[in-house]
Amino acid sequence: DSEVIGPAEIKKMVPFLDVSESARYPILGALYHPPGGTIRHDAVVWGYARAADALGVHVHQQTEVTGIDVAGGQVRGVRTSRGDISTPIVLNCTAGWSTLVAEMAGVRLPIQTFPLQAAVTEPVRAFLHPVVVSGTLHVYVSQTDRGELVFGASVDPFASYSTRGSLEFAEGLAGHVLQLMPALSKMRLLRQWAGLCDMTPDFSPVMGGTEVAGFYVDVGWGTYGFKAGPVSGEAMAECIATGRTPEIIGAFGLSRFGDGFLVGEKGAAAVGH
Ligand SMILES: Cc1cc2nc3c(=O)[nH]c(=O)nc-3n(C[C@H](O)[C@H](O)[C@H](O)COP(=O)(O)OP(=O)(O)OC[C@H]3O[C@@H](n4cnc5c(N)ncnc54)[C@H](O)[C@@H]3O)c2cc1C
């Protein structure tokens, strides 16, 4: 569904982009993906929660998993801040915290947690319809329906559980965004934040069972797991319900790191990691 377009067409689509030859990194072309888009992530998550609730799923908010009981190589239950739950099945899908939860079951994951920062500007009248991503400058820009511009880049260069924004990031981001769209120089950033990303050595997720019977993982999505939520959730539900690994996730098992069959996906998020 994608097509390569040249500077003239890019300029027509995004007039504020600097497509001049004097730009530091001249834009010679772009990969245009018409079906692409943005979503309101909080609305989507509430949508999932309501739909799950309607199907009889109990969502326990403000409840921390503090331990996982394993006996004889089999999951027996989960300890939480609000009581214990007896269960033979646990799916660990805790992204940036996934190694901590896996450790509770005695499972080691080849994952490191890195902060990924983003920022939004004050709102302005709608002028930017596509999402613009630069693989050279490692930034993306989109505009929300409230008019704010959303900026993001690659993960912080060090492993950490910090969710604070940094001045270093804001400065680097602003510099790169202005190389793309110099006309934004008067806009002010309203806020910035960071989320935690679960990064694997091959930048691909880890899905399926583990050496502990009943302990499953759907982790390691790093910087691009939101769009993959529905399909990975469906595949994991099938995996758990049938006891068989669906073909679509077959290559993403935890054992690949021991067997040496990595699935290189470094380019998957478009901005560099
Ligand atoms: C700034 C930023 C921009 C991003 N942009 C994109 C994008 O454009 N497209 C895209 O596809 N992805 C994007 N991502 C990545 C995406 O957000 C994640 O990959 C995705 O949200 C992971 O979903 P998840 O359900 O696996 O985990 P999460 O949504 O992180 O949920 C994990 C949950 O586990 C809970 N938890 C952790 N520990 C415990 C515990 N001990 N007990 C109970 N609960 C626990 C946490 O509170 C959290 O609610 C972005 C991430 C960030 C930070």
- The parent domain of residue 62 ranges over 56-111+201-259
- The residue whose two tokens read 């019977």 is 213
Same domain membership, residue 236 and residue 134? no
Residue ID of nearest Cα to ligand 1 atom 34: 94
Last residue of a domain, one of 147, 182, 199: 199
E strand segments, 108-228: 112-121, 132-134, 139-143, 149-152, 189-199, 206-209, 215-219
Supply 186's token pair.
């008067």
Q: Say how many Å lie between the CA of residue 196 and the centre of ligand 1.
A: 7
Strand partners, 65: 80
Q: How far is CA 165 from the centre of its chain?
A: 17
- What digits encode the pLDDT tens for the residues 107-147? 999 999 999 999 999 999 999 999 999 999 999 999 999 99
132 φ, ψ (degrees, to nearest 5): -105, 125
pLDDT at 37: 87
Specify the CATH number for the domain of residue 144: 3.30.9.10
ipTM of the complex: 0.98
For the cut 70, the answer to whether the pLDDT of residue 213 exceeds it is: yes
Q: How far is CA 120 from the centre of its chain?
A: 18
pLDDT at 266: 83
The mean predicted confidence, pLDDT, of the chain is 95
Residue ID of nearest Cα to ligand 1 atom 27: 95
> What is the rounded average pLDDT of the residues 239-256?
97
What residues does ligand 1 touch, defined as CB less than 6 Å away? 64-65, 93-97, 101, 116, 118, 152, 195, 197, 221, 223-227, 229
Contact 234, 199 (CB under 8 A): no
Specify the CATH number for the domain of residue 236: 3.50.50.60
Q: Which residue has the higher pLDDT, 273 or 169?
A: 169
Contact 217, 102 (CB under 8 A): yes
